[in-house]
Structure 1
Amino acid sequence: MKKVLNIILATCCSLMFQPLSIWSQDINVLFKEASNFERVQKENEALEKYKLILTQDPANVKALVKATELSAAIGGRQGDKNNKRLFYETALSYAKRAWQSDSNHADAAYAMAMIAGRMTDIETENKQIVAYVKDIKQYADKALSINADHAKANYTLGKWHYEMVTLSGLKKAAVKLFYGGLPSGDLDKAIAYMEKCKTLEPYFALNYLDLAKAYKEARQPAKAIEVLNKLVKLPTRTGDDPAIKAEGAKMLEAIQ
């Protein structure tokens, strides 16, 4: 009788843990498939894989951050404003879920900062624009307080400093009005953060482009040319890279 009970217990334990093992394996396979799609710039297909992961593990920070990045990237290339807004708002919802899942995760904080920057491009209410401007700084600072070597958080904070220096007239007026004064953007800090990003993630094309713009704004054309020459030779890693490199090539031609 004891032997029979032991067999039943062993069988139950096996059945109990088998689904978990299969589930974990499926998650790993989906991550691998998503990564492979990203590697060949099939971003829509990669996003669908991350969505599948989230159906099984809704609080998976890595999948949520990847879904944020891809939704924002795909949205940025939409010609229709409504479609762009839909993708950006979806990206924002993924970022919020990542933040709620783990507010001490540098990637989650970075995702919140990154999508806040995107939202400033489509938001029409000045007060909300300024709220997003504050969010960029707040969440980028948080990401770097958790991991000072987070490449894209360094870029995001550098871009924030650059934009605070170069704000257009209407945006500058709105920020002054609702922020309680113009934030202290610093061009030297912008360059320092983006230079650090370049060291940490040497194939991140957008960082090169904005770093070159910062050097140009700082009246250091030789440095801008050096960065742009590196940019145009970078391998294509994302769906945005061809357009970024084309803009860099045009900027390089204009400076030289």
Structure 2
Amino acid sequence: MGEGKPYYHKWLAIILNARNGMDSLESKVIGYPEVRDHLKLACQTNPKDFTIQHMLGKWHYEMANLTWFQRFLARYFFEEPPKSNFEEAYKYLNKAEELLPRTYLPNVFLLGCACIHLGQYYRAKYYLNMAINLPTHSDCDKCCSTNAKRLLAKLEKYDLGKDLLYESYHNFGFTS
């Protein structure tokens, strides 16, 4: 169904994701695998589509970001939610960023968040700084920018200040 139509799976995934978001938690948990499957088929059909890459990255980020307690509740009441990891999320979000660099603030923000989860704090600072410097066009953009500022404040300890760059601040056996 829809194999010959390049945008069929993309739009079906978008519609299913929107519908599941408005329905109950149960339909959302049960619908996650179907959304993922349509996104993957859409990605195979059109790998250079920014929206597909971003949605796949966001999907993987959301699945990887579920706490053990959220997974427990979903498994107990509905079914086991799909598993993912932040490496997959980063891969798809980065691909989206390569396709349309610095155009969609939520994508840049999620890249920064994924880097934090991966322990790549300097890279996270790069993306979060980019997120706060991009123009905001919507409430979602403003929220991402505000959250990026909050996360950057927490990452201040990972600053490459002048004390790390100049030997006179360290006295590595040098006389100054």
Tell me if TM exceeds 0.5: yes
Aligned CA distance change for structure 1 residues 125 and 191 (closer, same or farther; 3 Å): closer
Please give the secondary structure, in 1, of the residue aligned with 2:133: coil
Q: Shift of the alpha carbon at 1:109? A: 2.7
**What TM-score results when the alignment is normalised by the length of structure 1?**
0.52
**What TM-score results when the alignment is normalised by the length of structure 2?**
0.73
Please give the secondary structure, in 2, of the residue aligned with 1:240: helix
Distance, in Å, in 2 between the alignment partners of 1:253 and 1:160 is 26
Please give the secondary structure, in 2, of the residue aligned with 1:112: helix
Aligned to 1:77: none
Residue 111, structure 1, aligned to residue 11, structure 2: yes
- Once the two structures are superposed, what CA deviation does each residue of 1:88-109 show, in whole Å capped at 9, x if it has no partner? xxxxxxxxxxx98x97233x43
Match of 2:131 among 231, 234, 241: 231
Residue 222, structure 1, aligned to residue 125, structure 2: no
Residue 165, structure 1, aligned to residue 64, structure 2: yes
Please give the secondary structure, in 2, of the residue aligned with 1:212: helix
Residue 150, structure 1, aligned to residue 49, structure 2: yes
Which runs of 5 or more structure 1 residues have no equivalent in the other structure?
A: 1-98
Q: Shift of the alpha carbon at 1:187? A: 1.7
Query: For the Cα contact (< 8 Å) 2:29–2:81, is it kept in 1?
Result: no
Q: Shift of the alpha carbon at 1:208? A: 1.1
Q: Aligned residues, how many?
A: 154
Distance, in Å, in 2 between the alignment partners of 1:171 and 1:244 is 23
Aligned to 1:249: 149
Q: CA RMSD in A?
A: 2.7
Aligned CA distance change for structure 1 residues 117 and 248 (closer, same or farther; 3 Å): farther
Aligned sequence identity (%):
21
Distance, in Å, in 1 between the alignment partners of 2:17 and 2:108 is 18
Q: Shift of the alpha carbon at 1:115? A: 4.5
Runs of 4+ residues deviating >4 angstroms: 118-122
Aligned to 1:141: 40
Which structure has more relative contact order (CA 8 Å, sep 6+)? It is: 2
Residue 196, structure 1, aligned to residue 95, structure 2: yes
Residue 209, structure 1, aligned to residue 114, structure 2: no
Q: Shift of the alpha carbon at 1:121? A: 4.4
Distance, in Å, in 2 between the alignment partners of 1:124 and 1:170 is 18
One-letter amino acid matched to 1:111:
W
One-letter amino acid matched to 2:42:
A
One-letter amino acid matched to 1:216:
I
Higher helix fraction (1 or 2): 1
Which runs of 5 or more structure 2 residues have no equivalent in the other structure?
A: 157-176
Determine which structure has more spread, i.e. the larger CA radius of gyration: 1
